[in-house]
Structure 1
Amino acid sequence: MIDLPAYAWPLLALGAVIVGVSKTALPGSATLAVAVFAALLPARTSTAALLVLLIVGDALALALYRRHADWRSLWRLAPAVAVGIAVGALFLARADDVLVRRGIGAVLILLVVVTLVLRRTRVRAPGGRAALVGYGALGGFTTMVANAGGPVMSLYFLAARFDVRSFLGTAAWFFAIVNVAKLPIVVGLGLLTAPVLWLDLLLVPAVLAGGLLGRVIAGRMTQRFFDGAVLLLTAVTALWLLAGPS
């Protein structure tokens, strides 16, 4: 097992609960779990540990919302996301990590502002090819360089005016595919060790509990509250990337 102080366990469990809630009710909140894990575990270890828990959360989200996905949107996003991931991998090898994180935070703030302006003025958010390519490429890029693809894609789904169930179903399939695609890379880098797997095994019940809690929350949310929560959590993520640790 990974040697951790006693206070770390309840905080990691809270992070795991947040993962579950993010998958079944509040997309974007998973970045809060990223912050918790990064603060308590070595950076490389936290990346591997959290990826496994995210995949568990993805499986739970698929069990609940798999029938509500907009597959047309997913297929149309795929090429741009793949390009974004490839560019992100190349950029990550050369760019300074702090600058990348700050840049992504600034982009997220800009996207939140644009989304709010469009909704306030009752103008339908852009849904054409330009928006599709822009959001898809940015989502793939931010996923690769900072594990921050969730908020970007949440803003795209929000701009597309999906209802709560369509939003959650489409997001569930999107992130399940992306996270599973990352798994061989993590394994190849030797990050998915036996201690990491034991840690994840102990935290899986917390992810499941969070997922069930999110299911209850989602069933009681209005569309207006859901949209506001997504924007708020995206803004929090952006501020964390701007001011958080490198």
Structure 2
Amino acid sequence: MITDPTFYLAAIPAVILVGLAKGGFAGIGTVSLPLMALAIDPVQAAAILLPIMMVQDVISVGAYWKKWDRRNLVLLVPGAIVGILLGYLLASRVSMAAFNVALGLIAAAFALRYLLRPQMPPKQGGSLAGYFWGTVSGFTSMIAHSGAPPFQIYVMPQKLERDTFVGTSNAFFGIVNWLKFPAFMALGEFTTENVTTTAVLLPLAIASTWAGVLLVRRVPAEPFYKFIYLLLTAVGLKLIWEGGTALLGAA
């Protein structure tokens, strides 16, 4: 088990944020891995977080059981499988800095467009777009547990009912996280230290997930979606900053 107090200063808020995200505040957990990476290696942080998220997925999927949109899952999950495989095979060869800048620009532009034009009519996503954004989401989830922005870019224009949106998000990432487990196992990251650290953080993870489920149901649908768009804008800007800084540092 990790005993360094500095690690827990980063890990505790990170786990709470993931729990709130799993409870319904989709996207807020994207900052969790970078937060933990301030204290430990990012790959180790990802390995500690994955089993936590898998347990949280069981809770969140159960809380929104059968409230998912089946069409979205049918389109997104096959792409996500491809993305996870690509992430496992190509992680060392892909410039994540450039990728983050590109994804950040797309996410921020997408979110700002809908914030500035909130009355846009619902728009059903196409099949090819679903496969594409599912692949991108699976890839970014495998690399950095940050699959929410691509998922939201595809699903949010559909303006699903709040519980359907949350249920679809939970079901999709529940499937994705369990599919990622064999890849992380193959990487040899589930060491005794990592597994025991995960076990220590699990009670907090479970409590924060239930808190997210209870809190999100108290938020009216319109402010909820505005919050998600604002959050997506912030995440996009964060990706641009991180990727741009890394590219400039490498220049």
**Common fold, TM-score beyond 0.5?**
yes
The 5 Å alignment of 1:54-93 reads: 54-89=53-88, 91-93=90-92
Indicate the larger mover: 204-213 or 103-112: 103-112
Q: Which amino acid letter does the alignment assign opposite residue 126 of structure 2? A: G
2:122 aligns with one of 124, 127, 130: 124
Aligned to 1:181: 179
Moved over 4 A (4+): 86-91
Aligned to 1:220: 218
Aligned to 2:24: 25
Secondary structure at 2:226's aligned position in 1?
A: helix
| Distance 1:186-1:83 versus aligned 2 partners, 3 A rule | closer
Secondary structure at 1:60's aligned position in 2?
A: helix
Secondary structure at 2:38's aligned position in 1?
A: helix
CA distance, structure 2, for counterparts of residue 60 and residue 10 of structure 1: 25
Q: Is the 8 A contact 2:60 2:213 kept in 1?
A: no
CA distance, structure 2, for counterparts of residue 218 and residue 137 of structure 1: 28
The 5 Å alignment of 1:87-236 reads: 87-89=86-88, 91-116=90-115, 119-236=117-234
Give the alignment's Cα RMSD to 1 decimal: 2.1
CA distance, structure 2, for counterparts of residue 189 and residue 137 of structure 1: 21
Q: Which amino acid letter does the alignment assign opposite residue 173 of structure 2? A: F
Unmatched runs of 5 consecutive residues or more in structure 1: none
CA distance, structure 1, for counterparts of residue 27 and residue 48 of structure 2: 18
Aligned to 1:45: 44
Aligned length: 244
Aligned to 1:2: 2
Q: Is the 8 A contact 1:13 1:203 kept in 2?
A: yes
| Distance 1:8-1:81 versus aligned 2 partners, 3 A rule | closer
Superimposed CA distance per residue, residues 110-156 of structure 1 (whole angstroms, 9 cap, x where no aligned partner): 32234435x53523334233432343233233323443211221332
| Distance 1:51-1:2 versus aligned 2 partners, 3 A rule | same
Q: Which amino acid letter does the alignment assign opposite residue 131 of structure 2? A: V
Secondary structure at 1:120's aligned position in 2?
A: coil
TM-score, normalization: structure 2?
0.87
CA distance, structure 2, for counterparts of residue 88 and residue 41 of structure 1: 21
Shift in Å, 1:202? 0.9
Indicate the larger mover: 154-163 or 184-193: 154-163
Q: Is the 8 A contact 1:66 1:169 kept in 2?
A: yes
TM-score, normalization: structure 1?
0.89
Superimposed CA distance per residue, residues 31-70 of structure 1 (whole angstroms, 9 cap, x where no aligned partner): 1212211112112210101111111211110121122112
Task: Report % sequence identity.
Answer: 26
Q: Which amino acid letter does the alignment assign opposite residue 2 of structure 1? A: I
